[in-house]
Structure formats: structure tokens, C-alpha cells
């Protein structure tokens, strides 16, 4: 990459804007490199947090005006639609914590990209300015959405219309950023935040980020419902179990993090081994109801999460789940799955006869439903 620096160190994806001669102002090639780096951070399981800063005296001075004044250059619409909007969307939707370390001037789109981070810190000599009004433009890169939610309508309106430059201390005082560090210790302390987050239960952090993203548009009751759903998902992660176990054992937890749990069907096969004749589906369209179980796959190993089965099938299905506890899959990254524990919800199970496998045996696929009938697991 030519216009940014990118590396992965200590589970942190480090992105550094690297056009110091123009205060890290962005042009199309630089924006595309940032998007590429964010894609790598999204997909690479070794990246558990992201750290973004600038090289030189500036974090980012916003758009490179040489680009917009070039008759052969991209239009404003193209610049925003293919560059700035995708960048801030990727930052907000990235299921890993993003630390913005504002090392100097953050102006225009550069300021608003910084404010899209999950944790925003600045060096004491940094400054922020919206700048757009000075050239007849409106704030972009999500600024009109982000800034009023951080500092309130009046402050946001004044900062955008007057384009006043504010110091890092002022930004901290009005709630625009989280913390200010001394210039001498800024880099060390800010990267330490990212490395700390990378060691935390990052799936839980991703769900927290999801809840925060939704909170501005949800009603209170909708947000409570979302919290219930996300908390249940968090409670079915290996990190949750590790955190509780470490607390009870009075030791430091070792979190796996970052692996996204995806709902999927689990085939319990072959039926001739795992199930008796009574469990075979009847020859009618209505699937057999009665079995409730949950299995999650983590690190490629199927684990038993919880069983609440009505007689007479409890022992048989329990044995089946025990039998697949140590089955490994060649592509574990495709199989991370977490279902609501049966004791945590009112649920009924369904055995779906599915299709015959290569050996001619019919596979049973297990699905979970909430009591009001919404299917939790649609499966592949």
C-alpha cells in the first residue's frame, strides 16, 4: 500500500494515514487503500481490534482539494459514494472495536471519520474543525448524524456553521472524544487501549457495538428487546463461559474473541445409530414435535450447550449429542454456531427429515423456535 501503512501486531490491525506532506488529505487511491485495509481487518480472525491514526502533524485534513479541482477527477458524488461513505459504514459495522488516535489536525471529512470510531482519543496538541462551511459545502462522512449525537444539537450546529477550530481538551469536555493524552505518551497510551480491547471478549464487544448502533433509532421497548436478544447470544459464547469460570477460579481469563457465532443447522446422523424407530418422522407433512436441544460449534468442535428433552427421547438424544461432542470439521470457520440454551427460553424443537446423504441415510436437521413461533435458526 502506497498511501497508508498497514500492519497486524499483537492482534491489532494498525492503519496509519501516510500522506504527511499534505496533512494526510485523502484522494481516491488513498480511500481505496483504507477500504482494503478495513476489509482485511474484518475478515482476518487474527485481528481482534483496529487502531487508526495519522503520520506526521495531522490525523487527516479531509479531502485533497487538488482532486476535486481536477477537471479529469471524480465528482463529489463519486468521492462520497465510493470513498467516504463506505469508509465510515465499514468502521461502524465492523464487528471489532475501532480505536481512533487523533495525532494532530482532524479537519472536514477527517474529523468525521475520527468520530466514527468506537473509542476516540487525541493528543493534547490535536485540533478538530468541520471546515466545510468555509468552502460552501455541508459536512459529510456521517458528520451530520454523529456530531449532534455526541455534543448536542446546538453545539453541532455552531461547530458546523462557524467551522471553529477546537482543541483536544475542548473536544473532551463537550463529549466529542473520550480522552486526551500528553503528546509525549500519546502513541504508547493510545495503542495500549487497542491492545487491551484485543485481549477482551471481542464478540461481546461486537454485540455491544451493535446495540449502540441501534439505540439511536429504537424506542426504549425495542432497545430492551434487542438487549435481551444480544445478551442471550453473548451468554452462549465460549468467552462468557471462560469469563465466569475465570472469576470463580480466581484467575485471569483467556478470551478467544473475534470468531463470529453464526446460526446454522446441525445434522444429527446417522439416524440408525443415534435414534430409535420412535424418533423417525411420521409419513405426513407435519414434522415431529417434541425434542428440544442445543448444540454449538466452537473451534471446530461440537459441544453440548444444554438439553431439556421430554421423555422418552431424552436419553437417546442426549447420547447422540454426547457422541458428536468431539467431531471435528475441516472448515471450523464456517461452523461457528450458538443457539439459545433451552432453559433460557420457552422453546420447542423440530426434527426435519431433510435429504438422504451420500450413503443413502436420511439426515435429521434440528431447529429451534421461540414460543411465539419466530424461527431462530434457518440454517444453510
* Other Cβ atoms closer than 10 A to 40: 15
pLDDT tier for residue 236 given thresholds of 50, 70 and 90: confident
pLDDT in tens, 252-272: 999 987 444 333 333 332 222
Taking domain 4-198, whether its CATH number is 3.40.50.300 is answered by no
> Which grid cell sits at 130?
468541520
- pLDDT digits over 311-326, tens only? 444 454 455 444 443 3
The whole-number average pLDDT for the span 71-80 is 92
Report the mean per-residue pLDDT for the chain: 76
pLDDT value, residue 256? 82
State how far Cα 179 lies from the chain centre: 23
Is residue 355 pLDDT above 90, yes or no? Answer: no
Contact between 290 and 281 (Cβ < 8 Å): no
Q: What is the domain partition of the chain in residue ranges?
A: 4-198, 202-249, 266-370
Confidence at 237, pLDDT banded by 50, 70, 90? confident
Is the model's pLDDT at 360 over the cut of 90? no
CA distance 73 to 61: 19
- Confidence category of residue 238, pLDDT binned at 50, 70, 90: confident
Which pLDDT value is given to residue 178?
97
Lowest-confidence region among 15-24, 74-83, 307-316: 307-316
Question: What CATH number matches the domain at 202-249, 1.10.12.10, 3.40.50.300, 3.40.1360.10, 3.40.50.720?
Answer: 1.10.12.10
Nearest residue to 133 via CA among 143, 121, 123:
143
Threshold 0.85, pTM exceeds = no
Pick left, alpha or beta for residue 305 (phi over 0 → left; psi -120 to 50 → alpha; otherwise beta). alpha
Average pLDDT, integer, range 324-353? 34
181-194 tens-digit pLDDT: 999 999 999 999 99
CA neighbor of 313 nearest in space, from 349, 341, 283: 349
Amino acid at each position: 500500500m502506497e498511501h497508508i501503512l498497514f500492519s497486524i501486531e499483537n492482534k491489532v490491525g494498525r492503519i496509519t494515514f501516510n500522506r504527511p506532506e499534505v496533512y494526510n488529505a485523502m484522494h481516491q487511491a488513498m480511500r481505496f487503500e483504507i477500504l482494503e485495509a478495513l476489509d482485511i481487518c474484518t475478515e482476518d480472525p487474527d485481528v481482534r481490534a483496529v487502531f487508526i491514526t495519522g503520520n506526521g502533524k495531522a490525523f487527516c485534513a479531509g479531502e485533497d482539494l487538488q482532486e476535486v479541482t481536477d477537471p479529469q477527477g471524480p465528482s463529489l458524488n463519486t468521492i462520497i459514494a465510493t470513498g467516504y461513505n463506505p469508509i465510515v459504514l465499514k468502521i461502524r459495522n465492523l464487528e471489532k472495536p475501532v480505536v481512533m488516535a487523533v495525532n494532530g489536525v482532524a479537519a472536514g471529512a477527517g474529523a468525521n471519520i475520527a468520530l466514527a470510531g468506537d473509542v476516540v482519543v487525541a493528543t493534547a496538541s490535536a485540533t478538530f474543525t468541520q471546515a466545510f462551511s468555509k468552502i460552501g459545502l455541508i459536512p459529510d462522512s456521517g458528520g451530520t448524524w454523529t456530531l449532534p449525537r455526541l455534543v448536542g444539537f446546538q453545539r453541532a450546529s455552531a461547530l458546523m456553521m462557524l467551522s471553529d477550530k477546537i482543541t483536544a481538551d475542548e473536544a473532551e469536555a463537550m463529549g466529542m472524544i473520550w480522552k486526551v493524552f500528553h503528546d509525549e505518551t500519546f502513541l504508547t497510551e493510545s495503542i495500549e487501549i487497542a491492545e487491551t480491547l484485543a485481549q477482551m471478549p471481542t464478540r461481546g464487544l461486537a454485540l455491544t457495538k451493535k446495540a449502540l448502533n441501534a439505540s439511536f433509532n429504537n424506542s426504549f421497548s425495542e432497545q430492551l428487546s434487542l438487549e435481551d436478544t444480544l445478551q442471550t447470544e453473548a451468554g452462549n459464547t465460549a468467552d462468557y463461559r471462560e469469563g465466569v469460570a475465570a472469576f470463580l477460579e480466581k484467575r485471569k481469563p483467556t478470551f478467544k474473541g473475534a470468531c463470529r457465532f453464526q446460526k446454522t443447522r446441525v445434522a444429527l446422523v446417522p439416524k440408525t445409530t443415534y435414534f430409535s424407530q420412535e424418533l423417525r418422522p411420521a409419513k405426513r407433512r407435519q414434522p415431529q414435535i417434541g425434542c428440544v436441544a442445543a448444540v454449538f460449534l466452537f473451534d471446530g468442535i461440537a459441544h453440548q450447550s444444554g438439553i431439556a428433552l421430554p421423555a422418552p427421547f431424552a436419553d437417546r438424544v442426549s447420547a447422540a449429542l454426547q457422541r458428536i461432542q468431539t467431531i471435528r470439521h475441516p472448515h471450523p470457520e464456517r461452523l461457528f454456531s450458538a443457539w439459545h440454551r433451552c432453559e433460557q427460553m420457552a422453546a420447542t424443537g423440530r426434527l426435519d427429515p431433510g435429504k438422504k446423504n451420500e450413503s443413502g441415510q436420511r439426515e435429521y436437521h434440528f431447529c429451534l423456535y421461540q414460543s411465539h413461533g419466530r424461527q431462530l435458526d434457518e440454517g444453510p
